[in-house]
Amino acid sequence: MSASLERGVALFKEAIDAPIASFFSSCVHCGLCAEACEFYVDTGDPKYTPIHKLDPLKRLWRQEYTLVGRIAKALGLSRPITDAELAEWSELVYDSCTLCARCSMVCPVGNDIAYMVRKMREGMAVAGHAPEGLIFATTRTINVGSPMGVSIDTVKAQIRHQEKETGETIPLDRVGVDYMVLLSSMEVVNYPEYLGALAKIFKQAGVTWTLSSDGFEATNSGIQIGVSDLAREIVQRVVDAAEKLKVKGVVSPECGHAYTALRWEGPNLIGRPYPFEVVHIVELLDRLRQEGRLRTSGKTDTPLTFHDPCQLVRRGGVIDQPRNLLREVAGDFRDVADRGVMNWCCGGGGGVSTNDRAEPLRLAAFRQKKEQLDAAGVSTLVTACANCRVVMEEALEAYHMEHVQVLGLTELVAEHLAQAEEARKAA
């Protein structure tokens, strides 16, 4: 056994905690998780059945932690984990799983399959079987500050552009404000208008905010690749920056994964609670709406629907807030059939979008989203995740659906902000 494989197997053993042991022992082999996975549904290939993706980890659990398995191992009747097997399973664990957790929603005994895949990735990464795209993204995050290699200088350039375009101030490194705003690399590079939208909204709502030079990136590639030490380091950067600026809260951007990584996994990674609140931008916007601080004017007549980012709805429970906001600015909002916690993934979450070898499979899995859009009969798709937005734009192009445009929710709200005079009259 090679040294890397030995370390990987050791991490597999560590990963088998009480929840995973109970999940494996309670699995009834019903196969319902397969019908919930877009990679299985769109390919029909049984190897994409979610629980099957965990087979090496399950076999190790049986060998090490069950009586029958230990006896079989002692008698030489069990099969050890090999490098060749993990190389084969790398596609199943990284390419055909977005950690969307739709399979976990339908498990009749409550097994969290996505959690198990996340833990299995820890051993896979150490054993040397993580895809190159994720390795590079994680390395760039540690060395540069973001998975796409975006530096603070790039952020500052985009700040200047948006300030010139909107006439609004975008603060940097301001101490003692209400919120420190995080960005994802996707927003900085692909959708810098998000920054301008925030500046307009926060000005109207009277929210004080800032970006941080020390911790601007929200994406946590350490969690996606499955290396807890790196994930902890990335979270700690954000925590240190927020504590340094003495903010009351940290705003996660339009990114489902970043929200989950910081809000739910972050405190466990660093081993202590935060001294500040973590809130997704959509949660904050809806809160401002309820308080009467976010006022809009007019509605678009274009029929549109909403794509629920997986981590935002299934892990975070942020379901009603985006719809509350859309009803304020959309005259013809049409929800899709599978929505909320049962929405279909864009196909690029969990690091799949940075994994080049997964592209053909990712595009194949987009058929579920295509069917949703066709049934809704809309030409505008709104979402609250920059990664979903990029992935779906690429897929729409591949499926020759150029007539469908994808918009960010925050920017759509900003376009319909009431003028200052109108807001004062309404008050």
Over pLDDT 90: what percentage of the chain? 79
What average pLDDT does range 387-397 have in this prediction? 94
pLDDT value for 424: 43
- Find the angle CA(264)-CA(363)-CA(101) to the nearest 5 degrees: 25
pLDDT score for 419: 73
- The average pLDDT across 193-220 equals 96
Confidence at 420, pLDDT banded by 50, 70, 90: very low
pLDDT digits (tens, 9 = 90+) for 125-161: 989 999 998 888 888 888 888 888 899 999 999 999 9
- 421 pLDDT above the threshold of 50: no
pLDDT in the model for residue 426: 55
User: For residue 192, what are the CA distances in angstroms to 188, 209, 255?
Assistant: 5, 17, 14
Q: pTM for the complete prediction?
A: 0.91
Distance of alpha carbon 142 from alpha carbon 138, whole angstroms: 6
Q: Give the pLDDT mean for 285-313.
A: 95
What burial class does residue 336 get, using C-beta atoms within 10 Å of its C-beta: 0-12 exposed, 13-18 middle, 19+ buried? buried
Where are the chain's structural domains? 3-129, 134-289, 304-415
In single-letter form, the type of residue at position 251 comes to V
Evaluate if residue 1 carries a pLDDT over 70.
no
Handedness of CA 9, 12, 16, 21 (dihedral sign): negative
The answer to whether the CB of 288 falls within 8 A of the CB of 209 is no
304 DSSP β-pair partners: 333, 380
Report whether pLDDT(425) > 70: no
pLDDT at residue number 380: 95
Cβ-proximal residues to 79 (8 Å cutoff; 6+ apart), any chain: 59
User: Which tokens hold the place of 110?
Assistant: 């409550």
CATH, domain range 3-129 = 1.10.1060
Which one is predicted more confidently, 426 or 44? 44
| pLDDT score at 138 | 87
Percent of the chain having pLDDT more than 70? Answer: 98
What is the Cα–Cα distance from 187 to 411, expressed in whole angstroms?
12
- The H helix count followed by the E strand count for the chain is 25, 7
Fold assignment, 304-415: Rossmann fold (3.40.50)
Confidence category of residue 357, pLDDT binned at 50, 70, 90 = very high
Q: What is the mean pLDDT of residues 103-113?
A: 95
